[in-house]
Structure 1
Amino acid sequence: MRYAIYFSPPGSDPLTETASRWLGRNAFSGEGFDDYESFADLTEEPRRYGFHATLKAPFELAEGRHESELVEAFSAFAASHAAFDIPEIVIGSLGPFFALVPATLHQPLQDFTADVVRHFEPFRAPLSERDIARRKPETLSESQRANLHRWGYPYVMDDFRFHMTLTGPVSEARRQEMADILAETFSGFIHRPLTISGLGLFVEKERGEAFTVHSWQPLAASNTKDVRNG
């Protein structure tokens, strides 16, 4: 069993519905869709993970830790943090992958994600040598390699970039077509704020299986300052 702490809008959110139909699966309900079957080859990889942004990457529980403790800590963390907005999201790319990304770096989001990574680190079992090798550390930057060994994932802290993956690798020949299709599909959500309203605890029961939502908790603390201005 592996766990992950992801950002996802609530299961009933229109963005969740649109993205689930695009990817072909809803991680909340497990329901499959064939609305965009012609692009199923490009959405196969993100479909398994469900629509999300990685905050704490998938991990096995550390020795002596139990799921009930993780669930309790997850609920308490969400209750102690306030919701906030990313000022604007757009269709962007990370190498050959397309994703929903912030239009510009948003420091409150960076700080929040770093807090998630640190807070849940005591629950994470050390990576196996196989898991480390799978990340191809020889291709990572020095800071990313340090992150991999310290936090179990290369793309955290200063190397973190928020993204909600929409495709696997897209060939150069198809990139403009895909950019246009995604812009149309997500036209109701891009170039406007995205509220980080809650967190999802996702689970993978066996390696290689689809991730599903174990629970979703709203960020429920009162917001006493305008986090958009830091």
Structure 2
Amino acid sequence: MAPLVVVVTAMSSDWHAAGRAPILLAALGVTTALAGCDTSAQVSPAGPAAVPPPAGQSSPEPYDISRVGAVVDDFPQGFSPQAHPAKTLGPADLGGSAVAAFTGAQFDPPQCRSVVIPPYADPTVGTEAVGVIGQGDQGSMYVVALRSPHPVAAEPDPAGCDRISLSGSPEATGTVERIAAPAVGGVRTTGVKLTVMDSAEGPDYLFTAALDDSTSVVVMGSADQQLDPQRLMSDLLVKAVSAVRGQQ
């Protein structure tokens, strides 16, 4: 597995206190990095990301990932969302082994890893991350905006990945299914659902959006089924993309 899977969020509400550590929350090590941010400390500015224009065209308006914090007001009642400031991820953020169970996780078919974690949502050293973390008695949800230090080329989705098996430990063993992602004009989006084997908890969801070749948004988490978590997190993705675009 890539380094980002090694770092699992250490922030557990009562919802996950029973011992399940969802792989989709572990998939993006940025959740731990953002949780460790001290809002009083100096952080790298989350200013606009420069997007190279096509030859002969003027530069488009750049994206400001710090605007993702606007979704703090879009979480349902019962959650306590907190916006976390920008942080430039270093080796310790991506390489810290908080939960060894996920270090050896395997995808079957192996080429389907990119369906679960698209390359544009797979942070590397130097990636800038800003996020909102919302937790409550009915779930835990994370909204993260990422700005890559290097362009990430779009890749076609591999075939045969509508249903993917994940294995490697009891916590990281289950089935990943593609689900409908929201349609956002000019944005590539993905959605998956993970059902963990032998777990009484509900499934986890992961939605992603690529705004350009260096800016992306990720929404992930799980929530009580009465909240319709798939729709809830799909809507959060749309709102987060609109916020980063400056449309809110």
Return the structure number with greater strand share. Answer: 2
Return the structure number with greater helix share. Answer: 1
TM over 0.5, shorter chain: no
Which bin holds the TM-score, normalised by the shorter protein? under 0.3
**TM-score normalised by structure 1 residue count:** 0.27
